[in-house]
């Protein structure tokens, strides 16, 4: 563990739940490797407005933002990037001399993770979920020339994502008729402790050539196992998390993380927990 001094800058992640997050492992590994006098911790938030006020009052350097606050936090910051404004979701807040600036690195993380396995341009994607992560993924897909269909238990939220990112929304009952070649689970379904849950009928998986899950605890979700059994290429939830964290770290510090450093920290943390 690094030595904590009076000069140590504090960064963190706001969410609920947040104890499971691998972001502290990744960012603290990067701080150590680059000799940055900083620490990154998890903040389980019960009141977002008060949490943001605390961020200001304590002069934190910045925070990551996760479930369920990526959309709500727009109401409490001073300014944001044009990307974040278009998405309607923020996953990164940087304290710039007392002004809180929001951005979204999720869409770049999603694009990078997808491009490791499949092309995006001219591909059609089915996105399960309509929260902040889904908004970022939909934005990234359209920015890279793809198209998407989105569905959610809340049809109004799905229609909002489709409207804002230029896709289509369908009810869950119409999934068997979706023409997508890539499936992305942007919901928490399948996250531990409910690791046997799956967000759609596994018999539908054979119609996709690639399946991505943003859940990373467990790393190999039931969705990914069922998809591989049907011949699909799969993308685990850490890929998007790692890619977005590398960009986030640069926003926090102005420094570039050595390639694969955060990946080693994240996968190593999961491996250590399984011992």
70 assigned to active site: yes
Residue 165 CB-half CA count within 13 A: 38
**Strands across the sheet containing 210-213:** 168-169, 147-151, 124-128, 182-185, 210-213, 233-235
Parallel, antiparallel, or unpaired for β 99-103 and 38-44?
Answer: unpaired
- Which residues are CB-neighbours of 238 under 8 A, at least 6 positions away? 22, 216, 219, 263, 266, 267, 270
Taking a C-beta distance cutoff of 8 angstroms, is the pair 44, 14 a contact? no
Report the catalytic residues: 70
């Amino acid at each position: 563990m690094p030595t904590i001094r009076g000069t140590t800058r504090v960064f963190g992640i706001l969410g609920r739940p947040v104890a499971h997050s691998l972001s502290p492992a990744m960012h603290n590994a990067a701080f150590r490797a680059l000799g940055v006098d900083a620490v990154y911790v998890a903040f389980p938030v019960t009141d977002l407005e008060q949490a943001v006020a605390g961020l200001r009052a304590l002069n934190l350097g910045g925070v990551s933002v996760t479930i369920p606050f990526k959309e709500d936090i727009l109401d409490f910051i001073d300014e944001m990037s044009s990307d974040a404004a278009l998405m309607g979701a923020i996953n990164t807040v940087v304290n710039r001399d007392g002004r809180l600036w929001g951005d979204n690195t999720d869409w770049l993380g999603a694009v990078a993770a997808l491009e490791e396995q499949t092309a995006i341009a001219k591909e059609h994607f089915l996105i399960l979920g309509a929260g902040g992560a889904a908004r970022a993924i939909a934005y990234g897909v359209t920015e890279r020339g793809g198209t998407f269909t989105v569905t959610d238990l809340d049809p109004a939220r799905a229609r909002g994502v489709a409207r804002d990112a230029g896709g289509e929304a369908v009810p869950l009952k119409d999934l068997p008729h979706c023409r997508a070649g890539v499936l992305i689970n942007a919901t928490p379904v399948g996250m531990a402790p409910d690791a046997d849950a799956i967000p759609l009928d596994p018999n539908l998986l054979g119609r996709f050539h690639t399946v991505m899950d943003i859940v990373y605890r467990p790393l190999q979700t039931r969705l990914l196992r069922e998809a591989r059994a049907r011949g699909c290429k799969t993308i685990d939830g850490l890929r998007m998390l790692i890619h977005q964290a590398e960009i986030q770290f640069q926003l926090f510090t102005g420094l570039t993380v050595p390639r694969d450093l955060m990946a080693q920290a994240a996968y190593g943390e999961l491996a250590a927990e399984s011992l």
